Chains A and B, each alone.
Chain A
Amino acid sequence: MPSDTPLLKVDELSSHYGPIQALFGVSLEVKQGELVAIVGANGAGKTTLLHTLSGVQKASGGQVFLDTREITKQKPHKIVAAGVCHVPEGRQVFAPLSVDDNLRLGAYALRKEKEWVEQELDNIYTLFPILNEKSAQSAGTLSGGQQQMLAIGRALLGRPRLLLLDEPSMGLAPLLVEEIFRVIQSLNDQGVTILLVEQNARAALGIANRGYVLETGKVVLSAGADELLKDEAVRRAYLGY
């Protein structure tokens, strides 16, 4: 059940690509145990926002806090070590490396905790039996859905306090989308705090507690997921009915 402590607090965050501004003072919060969705059209800045949270994209203004600790200017590997694990858009698995190696690299920051890594690896293989079956194959030979599972599993091996998911449904067949969303929901039920970015607004808001609508780098609306699903403007713009 979501508690009231904000695990992630984003305050007036801005970011630029060279002279072009992509984020204009985005503020949001994710509480411990919540599943929060960010919906918006292509180019709204959703991926940029997640990249800025992970530190692979530089913030040009504003602050990001994990608990009370500021992580705005931290290097990406420090942010991962602090417990922010990111499943990037388009999966981004290490194609030539084996499935098993991909997962183990997810625990790179925790490589000294061997017992925990083996334990969690077992858990991931139980959660995604197909990955266990193909553990010795190179990740590039997996199908899109399997690669998405691998990318999620890899992030879980980073022992996330906050899991960032970028377009997990992209390019997947409808049945697979359903399965991926079921997995995301069950991870949240097990207590993983999740910030989910999706173009598939209906599916995302269907499992989220709360949602933010991002338009051209600004938050234009935020409310409970149910309210957003009923909102006239959101329905017209993002749900298509």
Chain B
Amino acid sequence: MWDQILQFLITGVTVGATYALVALGFAIIYNASDVVNFAQGEFVMIGAMTAIALSAGDGGLPLPLALIGAVLITIAVGILLQRFAIAPARGASVVTTIIITIGASIFLRGVALLVWGKDIFAMPHFSGEIPLHIGNATLLPQNLWVMGGAALLVMGVHYFFNHTIIGKAILACSCNRTAAHLVGINVGLMMLVAYGLSAFLGAMAGILVAPITFTSYDAGVMLGLKGFSAAILGGMGNPMGAVAGGLALGLIESLAAGLISSGYKDAIGFIILLLVLFIRPSGMFGKVSAERV
């Protein structure tokens, strides 16, 4: 029994780490521009699919180079999305921008379908498939890659927003765009940085987890929705809350799938989303803002 639970926890943290990175992407874009970017899951898919495409076959690149290439391509997609779909709609309502990002996600999925078809792809594990044993539970080296990679990325993002002037400038754009202009911040450029960073996190999530979960042109849909649920669970706009929300969602899903039924795995995520929205819309760590004027 306990071995089983340990196994569920390992799976839960691995999946949760992926959700955390997607949720972090949601939080960053929401913080920078008040846009909920429903194309976030597509970044994950594009990262994984381009990495596989670049490394596949006889003429393929060595894996590390393919991964770097995939990340750069995904970042470019994120920047293009901001520049050509989001920026022109500046000042539009929240609903409008949400519809734009949903449209963008359908478009990106369509392009992926044209390029790669409906096949399911696998990516080679980074460092072999020999499982490690903890008690009776097993752990693949790739699980460690996911957890370690996600931990490093989260720490990096935390450092970026709390200890660098560029990170703070992005936050400044979200709290007061006019004032950001007036202190000399290039607001347009900061938006591109925010979308590029979110795309980078999405691509990394996709690349890290692809060897375990496989991937296909529509893999981003579910990951995007789960990441969104995690971001809401943690409190939208709170990056570290998003990470905690991702881990919590991954753990709950994995435990529910193991202990109740795996058929309910996906439903759990959305039941949690609805419960949070009903009971505590500001999320686990949503701040109650105090502001004097």
Q: How far is the CA of A141 from the CA of B178 in the complex (A)?
A: 20
Contact between A108 and B169, CB atoms less than 8 A apart? yes
B168 is contacted by which of A56, A90, A97 (Cβ under 8 Å)?
Answer: A97
The yes or no answer to B280 lying at the interface (CB within 8 A) is no
Contact between A140 and B182, CB atoms less than 8 A apart? no
The yes or no answer to B225 lying at the interface (CB within 8 A) is no
**Are A80 and B183 CB-contacts (below 8 A) given A94-B172, A111-B165?**
yes
Q: How far is the CA of A75 from the CA of B189 in the complex (A)?
A: 12
Q: How far is the CA of A143 from the CA of B291 in the complex (A)?
A: 10
**Are A108 and B183 CB-contacts (below 8 A) given A97-B168, A140-B289, A143-B292?**
yes
Digit string of A100-120 for contact with B (CB within 8 Å is 1, else 0)?
010011101101000000000
Q: How far is the CA of A96 from the CA of B290 in the complex (A)?
A: 9
The yes or no answer to B186 lying at the interface (CB within 8 A) is yes
List chain A residues, Cβ under 8 A from B171: 94, 96-97
A94 is contacted by which of B176, B181, B187, B293 (Cβ under 8 Å)?
Answer: B176
List chain A residues, Cβ under 8 A from B184: 76-77, 80-81, 108-109, 158
The yes or no answer to B122 lying at the interface (CB within 8 A) is no
List chain B residues, Cβ under 8 A from A142: 292
A88 is contacted by which of B172, B182, B291 (Cβ under 8 Å)?
Answer: B182
Contact between A76 and B172, CB atoms less than 8 A apart? no
Contact between A101 and B168, CB atoms less than 8 A apart? yes
**How extensive is the interface on chain B, given as a class?**
20 to 34
Q: How far is the CA of A106 from the CA of B169 in the complex (A)?
A: 10
- Interface residues in B96-128 by Cβ distance below 8 A to A read none
List chain A residues, Cβ under 8 A from B178: 56, 88, 92
Contact between B289 and A105, CB atoms less than 8 A apart? no
B237 to chain A, nearest CB (A): 10
Contact between B186 and A105, CB atoms less than 8 A apart? no
List chain A residues, Cβ under 8 A from B186: 75, 77
The yes or no answer to A169 lying at the interface (CB within 8 A) is no
Digit string of A145-188 for contact with B (CB within 8 Å is 1, else 0)?
00100000011001000000000000000000000000000000
B147 to chain A, nearest CB (A): 31
List chain A residues, Cβ under 8 A from B182: 54, 56, 76, 80, 85-86, 88, 92, 155
List chain B residues, Cβ under 8 A from A76: 181-182, 184
The yes or no answer to B65 lying at the interface (CB within 8 A) is no
Q: How far is the CA of A77 from the CA of B178 in the complex (A)?
A: 11
- Interface residues in B132-191 by Cβ distance below 8 A to A read 165, 168-169, 171-172, 175-176, 178-187
Q: Which residue of A lies closest to B162 (CB)?
A: A101
Q: How far is the CA of A96 from the CA of B181 in the complex (A)?
A: 17
Chain B interface (Cβ < 8 Å from any Cβ of A): 165, 168-169, 171-172, 175-176, 178-187, 289-293
25 contacts between A and B (CB under 8 A): A56-B182, A77-B185, A77-B186, A88-B182, A92-B178, A93-B176, A93-B179, A94-B180, A97-B171, A97-B172, A97-B175, A104-B165, A104-B168, A105-B165, A105-B185, A108-B169, A108-B184, A140-B290, A140-B291, A141-B290, A143-B292, A144-B292, A144-B293, A154-B183, A158-B184
- A-B interface, 8 closest residue pairs, ranked by CB to CB distance from nearest: A80-B184, A109-B184, A140-B291, A76-B181, A92-B179, A86-B182, A77-B186, A77-B184
